[in-house]
Chain A
């Protein structure tokens, strides 16, 4: 039994979950900042990014050490590869939160205006995708991960609808261009968060089943279902 090695894998998983918690919190804070126009929350998001970046490097180093020292095989190898990729996706989720926080700071310089896009709803969907993808990682549940993939279309459609309705708004009310552009970028950031959640879910499926389902490739174990 490789007890120390498997303990190290548990430690790696635990550390990634800390990272996940920080990335998830960053998105929630960014959306709260958008909802309340509170720049102090924006500051929290921006400061939080430093900790996320630091943790990203630590996790990559741990994974690299395990690959070099332990030469893992099969499910352990897939687990470490999945962790490396999920780690990068979580760091990008943190970046998207910072982007949103920056847009909120910019928005605060302009008069508040009603926008024809439901950012909080979109944010709630994207966040629930991240949460579900991470839950599937915690439980090693490929089925749960698969359900995340289906949710991505909904967020994509909301982003397209936001683009369409904000384009019309800019044309009809040019004075609201700055507010509309910020809302458009935030919608785009949330769509990217959903994409990262999708990537995480795909990595969980790869880890658990050994199936590469990226870019709509099929999972052999679901071929008959």
Chain B
């Protein structure tokens, strides 16, 4: 494998996704994206911009209409990627009628991970104290951390996290972003979606998505410099306004 391929975690060309079958909605009309390896890349955009659909295409659970999605040098959904890519959906996908430990033990078996991985994942999301509790008796934030812990079991090379910090208190949010930073330092690639623009400061790189199109793909510093905006929220507005003006200039 060439040097270039190793630096790229995700390579997407001409991705078109229609959600909901033949008469569905075009969520991603024609998307190109390169996600570098070993970094925390924030996928920011309002609700309905296509973040979840893009993530589903990357982990290979989304039927795609056309285009190529290459993950860690392999086509998305490749059987080998199922061991190397961790995916956390927006709604916590764990068994409510099992305890935290029972959930992790089952998913550890599935991911070919051992008891030590269960302990490590529990410690990473700070749930070791209440590991014996049933998941349906947990708060929403605790539940989403269980879901995150499941994805950490196999120590994946790429973590795809869909809004992992929604509903968490500021301390926990900070702790989780610290964890994401540590994982990236260990060489894990992370793609983290959020609709909270201020989480951009914790990302190495930002991808701004709107109506299924990438409107920016840069570091935070470059983005602010290019748009002259004081923060990501304003940079986003500036880019949207700029694109709205552009068709008139073309005329």
Q: Do A and B assemble together?
A: no
